[in-house]
Amino acid sequence: MSAHMHWSRVLLVVPALVVSILGTSFSQEKIVWSDQEKPILDQIRTLRKLDDTVRARTTKDLALQIRQIPVVPNKLRLAEALANLSTEGDFGRDTLQEVTTTLAKAAQEQPPAEENGSPNSVYMELASLVKYEHMQAASDNPQFAAAMSRLEADDAKRQVTDFTLTDLQGKSWHLRDLQGKVVLVNFWATWCPPCRKEMPDLQALYDKYKDQGFLVLAISDEETAKVSPFITERKISYPVLLDPGRKVNDGFVVEGIPKSFVYDRNGKLVAQSIDMRTRSQFQQMLAQAGLQ
C-alpha cells in the first residue's frame, strides 16, 4: 500500500490500516514498541469498537498521551494512525483539534521525508485536516504547502468532472444532466465499515428531501453480484451506481472511502467530506446547497 494511498484513507479493517501506517509487512519493517507506546497502539486498534461518546473521549486522551511520548519515529506513526481514524464521524471539534495539534507537533519534531517526490502522507493528512475539517495548524515545511496545493488541484478537477454510469436497475445517470437538483455523490463499498455506518443517514436524508429535488448517487467499484443483495438487504432506495473500471473514482481523485461531494442546483461543488459523516454533518453539507 503506497503512502499516497494511505493518506486518503483506504479504510479496510483497523488492524490492516494500523499495520499499513505503523509498520508493515509491505516494507518488512519490524517496529519495536516501548511500554509507553504499546497501550496507545492497542487502543487505536480498538477505537472503532467503542460507542461514539466513549470514542470521542478516548481519542482526545490518546492525542494528549501521544504528545507526551519522547521524540522517536513511533510518535509520528501513532499520531498519523490516530488522525486517520478521527474523522470517521463527529467526535467534537475540540477532539479533532487535539489530534491535529498532536500530528503537527510530531511532524515538526521529526519532519518526515518526501515520498517519491511527493509530499509525505503526514503532510497530506495535516493539509486535509486544515482544508476540509477547518482545523488550526501551521507548518513551515515546504511539503505542507505542496500538500495544500495538491488538494487545491484535486478540487479543481472534481469541479469539472462529469460521468455517466448505470445503476443496479439499468438506468443511466449523467451528472451534468442533473442541474436543477441538489446532488450528493457518495463513494462507498460493501466491505467498508464507515460506509455502512453512514448509509442509514443518507437514506433518511434522501427520504426527507427527495421531493425537493435532492438526489443521492452512491458509487461503488464492486460487481453487481456483491452490491445488489447488500443494497436489497438494507432497503436502500437511492440510486446505486457501478464504476467497475474506477474511471469515475479516478476522476474524483478518490483513493479512499467513504467520500461525499455535494453539488448545488447550478452544478457547483459546494461541500465535500474526506470521511464518514453523521446525519447532522450531512445536513450541514446540504445546507450549503440550499436545502434546510
Query: What stretch of H or E contains 61?
Result: helix 52-67
Compute the distance between CA of residue 219 and CA of residue 123 in angstroms, rounded to an integer. 28
164 beta partners: 174
Determine how many CB atoms are found less than 10 A away from the CB of residue 115: 18
Rounded Cα distance between 31 and 25, Å, is 11
The C-alpha atoms of residue 61 and residue 44 are separated, in whole angstroms, by 11
Please, where in the chain does CATH 3.40.30.10 lie? Answer: 164-287
Collect all residues with Cβ–Cβ distance below 8 Å to 259 and sequence separation of at least 6: 186, 187, 252, 272, 273, 274, 275
DSSP code of residue 81: H
- Topology of domain 164-287 in CATH is Glutaredoxin (3.40.30)
Instruction: Name 220's bridge partners.
Output: 242
pLDDT at residue 29 in the model: 65
**pLDDT given for residue 30 in this prediction:** 83
Residues, the chain, total?
292
pLDDT along the chain (292 residues), means of 10: 36 45 54 94 96 96 97 95 96 97 97 94 97 95 97 94 96 96 98 96 98 98 97 97 95 94 95 95 97 89
Residue 32: what pLDDT? 92
Output the pTM of the full model: 0.87
